[in-house]
Structure 1
């Protein structure tokens, strides 16, 4: 079968990396299209995934609209030539639009409830929408739920084994030995809060001081250039090695939900500090105790203290908690492959779309 996969974010590369490999091994013809966004294209190249870049990056909502229009127009042109059996993506605005024009099938994966613009533009046109079972929205008859998280498509132990040599490849000035406790801190940016109640940590230096006092070395990651006094703590590593690093950290403090969830499914306790709660961050907190969600008032103070308290703990419940998670959640790559093949087959059968929940 002919399958088109679209990539518009680095996380999409991670999610589809193993399904692409398996689908090709099963004899299917895979076409990957991407637009430049952060390190998405760099990751495709690092993993040796054949692809074609259809559009550049954007730096504002206005430019994003123009880039998206260009991306969709070029995707339509290429897809018309390929005549795919299914087009699949995360979010899936372009995939669903192009598939509806061509009369082919579209398969959308998504896990972000508050991204309402994407869901309003994409969901009405999609044939099947796959969401984690913890997703808070009821979409309708085309929704398929599964007991898992996007991160388990690439960080399930059947798909990923952390490489301890990542500690030797760090370009930060922090000199880590294998047994040294350390924290990875992922900030939205290096600056102060943008909006009252919605900004990030105002004093990154305070994060370093508190976590060092708790006994951990600190590696900082954020957008842009750090203040001069924080340069020694700046984390610089190849983007395809970040998950190795998260796996060996003692705690991850993150303003980004994906990084926090990645650490959690790897068995590294994570602290998620953000006003936007998600179904999967709440479940990883309430059900498994591998992620600690702080989204209310004084969340930065409480989140930092939580991270410090994790470093100072003398017990280690994280391995046991991860084992329980893996017992109850699925290998999402296997689910993705099944859904792609099942939907692609319907194009050559009676035209109906099966939507069967997993698990």
Structure 2
């Protein structure tokens, strides 16, 4: 079989990397189409995935005509690559995957979450043969929409899959008993982040200064806007492939971004998400809050004060780990599901009985 996969962001690389590896080891041909965005190609190189770049993610500096030409060029490249590869099934999300599958007359599998990406859902839904999303997703995307108990991050952080690197503290240059915190600042440059605001610059500085009084602070600044030279913090500068190992060892993650908060929660690390101006209600976070693995905050002062409170509590780490053991182990191993769906060419009816049992037709469950 020939499987075409779209990985347009670092999160997409993690979503598919174990499935791609297993499919290749099973003798299938896999091609990942990607764009230059953040550390996406760095991760593809690190995990030795077979990929081609069709363009980059850049909106600044373009006129409307220039942007249209850039997007048109990307569609042209995608079309050529898709026709040359001649896939049996296409995995992805949004218009690129829908276009590649339609042009090559190939079944299309969309793997979605509950982000408010209505544009992506709207343009790709009519072309999909199979849509997979977490059960906590609240929208119904039609007869081809199936849900599973878990999160898209279960493709790489499920306990059956995730194997932490034991040397991450050495790489970070922190002692075995040295508490450290990961702080993640979102660049807010994705389509679904339009008009959103997270931590302000003054809040970023204050948060770092307060947290540094009780723990070593590592900062992952997606927008690369913060000058840490005058602040009591260290940049998180390990290879991006090691971020989950660093999260697993951290005392706390504080972020104004969604994916890393979900990831930390599934690893059993206290995960605090500052909403900023984002008032959208996400099904994933609502479920993780119910499980006691994520906390969300509407004001800066509350997330700062709660962070300091948690860092002063010696029992917090064991409490979160216990919640993880009780909750995450019962979730679906999404990599298993992705492999089975790929080998069935995106046709749910072809899945074996045990795999079908983990899927629920969305239209019958809301």
- When residues 33 and 226 of structure 1 are mapped into structure 2, their CA distance, relative to the original with a 3 A threshold, is same
Partner of 1:206 in structure 2? Answer: 206
- When residues 201 and 307 of structure 1 are mapped into structure 2, their CA distance, relative to the original with a 3 A threshold, is farther
Post-superposition offset of 1:158: 2.0
Partner of 1:254 in structure 2? Answer: 255
Instruction: Write the deviation string for residues 30-77 of structure 1: whole angstroms up to 9, x where unpaired.
Output: 112111111101110111112111212313485665444322221211
- Contact kept? 1:4, 1:32, Cα under 8 Å: yes
- Contact kept? 1:189, 1:200, Cα under 8 Å: no
- Contact kept? 1:155, 1:262, Cα under 8 Å: yes
Q: C-alpha separation between the residues in 2 aligned to 1:99 and 1:197?
A: 32
**Residue ranges of structure 1 left out of the alignment (5+ in a row):** none
Which residues in structure 2 correspond to 1:34-183 (within 5 Å)?
34-60=34-60, 62=64, 66-89=69-92, 91-170=93-172, 176-183=174-181
Partner of 1:323 in structure 2? Answer: 325
Post-superposition offset of 1:279: 1.2
State the SS of the aligned residue for 1:154. Answer: helix
- Contact kept? 2:181, 2:253, Cα under 8 Å: yes
Instruction: Write the deviation string for residues 155-184 of structure 1: whole angstroms up to 9, x where unpaired.
Output: 1222221113122223xxxx5211111110
Task: Compute the TM-score of the two structures, normalised by the length of structure 1.
Answer: 0.87
Q: C-alpha separation between the residues in 2 aligned to 1:282 and 1:201?
A: 25
Q: C-alpha separation between the residues in 1 aligned to 2:187 and 2:243?
A: 18
Post-superposition offset of 1:225: 3.9
Q: C-alpha separation between the residues in 2 aligned to 1:3 and 1:66?
A: 28
Task: Compute the TM-score of the two structures, normalised by the length of structure 2.
Answer: 0.86
Partner of 1:217 in structure 2? Answer: 216
Post-superposition offset of 1:327: 3.0
- Contact kept? 1:135, 1:279, Cα under 8 Å: yes
Post-superposition offset of 1:249: 0.2
Q: C-alpha separation between the residues in 2 aligned to 1:195 and 1:97?
A: 24
- Contact kept? 1:142, 1:355, Cα under 8 Å: no
Aligned length: 341
- Contact kept? 1:144, 1:355, Cα under 8 Å: no
Post-superposition offset of 1:302: 1.1
Post-superposition offset of 1:219: 1.0
Instruction: Write the deviation string for residues 235-277 of structure 1: whole angstroms up to 9, x where unpaired.
Output: 2111011111000000000111001111110110100112244
The Cα RMSD (Å) is 2.6
Alignment of 1:265 onto 2:266: yes
- When residues 73 and 112 of structure 1 are mapped into structure 2, their CA distance, relative to the original with a 3 A threshold, is farther
Q: C-alpha separation between the residues in 2 aligned to 1:82 and 1:189?
A: 34
- Contact kept? 1:92, 1:122, Cα under 8 Å: yes
- Contact kept? 2:136, 2:287, Cα under 8 Å: yes
Instruction: Write the deviation string for residues 127-179 of structure 1: whole angstroms up to 9, x where unpaired.
Output: 11110000111111110100111111111222221113122223xxxx52111
- Contact kept? 1:87, 1:107, Cα under 8 Å: yes
- Contact kept? 1:270, 1:290, Cα under 8 Å: yes
Alignment of 1:17 onto 2:21: no
Which residues in structure 2 correspond to 1:258-337 (within 5 Å)?
258-274=259-275, 275=278, 276-286=280-290, 288-294=291-297, 296=298, 299-315=299-315, 316-337=318-339
State the SS of the aligned residue for 1:33. Answer: strand
- When residues 70 and 325 of structure 1 are mapped into structure 2, their CA distance, relative to the original with a 3 A threshold, is farther
- Contact kept? 2:181, 2:217, Cα under 8 Å: yes
